[in-house]
Amino acid sequence: MENFDLGSFTGGWFVGDFSPTLLPTEEFEVAVKSYAAGAHEQRHLHKIATELTVIVNGRVRMNGEEYGSGSIIRINPGEDTDFEALTDVTTVVVKTPCAKNDKYLI
């Protein structure tokens, strides 16, 4: 068994076709991300990847809808979204496939 620190990985991304990673794969990406209340991400879309965002704790607003702990949001390729942390938030994000440079700001 090996132990790693999430802080050693870029932006919480620890599985995927990038470096550093624990599991190099082109099939999917996984991240654990933490946001302080008020943090936001600009509206964007992915042309190739499907993104699954799990709200582990806290509340967020995406596309004008509020989501809380236990919510799982699926964003299909070509669908755009924004992100605002309404409280301190922890999310788990899975994108499949792992597609480099597949984030398009709107």
- Report residue 63's pLDDT band, with 50, 70 and 90 as the boundaries: very high
Q: Name the residue range of residue 63's domain.
A: 30-105
- Report residue 66's pLDDT band, with 50, 70 and 90 as the boundaries: very high
- Report residue 6's pLDDT band, with 50, 70 and 90 as the boundaries: very high
For the chain, the average pLDDT equals: 97
79 located within any domain: yes
> Encoding tokens for residue 8?
């050693």
61 located within any domain: yes
Domain count within the chain: 1
The whole model's pTM is what? 0.94
- Model pLDDT, residue 76: 98
Identify the CATH number of the domain in which residue 94 sits. Answer: 2.60.120.10
Spatial distance between the Cα atoms of 59 and 66, rounded to a whole number of angstroms: 7
- Report residue 41's pLDDT band, with 50, 70 and 90 as the boundaries: very high
DSSP lists the bridge partners of residue 50 as 96
- Model pLDDT, residue 106: 93
Spatial distance between the Cα atoms of 71 and 60, rounded to a whole number of angstroms: 10
- The C-alpha angle with vertex 37 and arms to 34 and 43, in degrees rounded to 5, equals 75
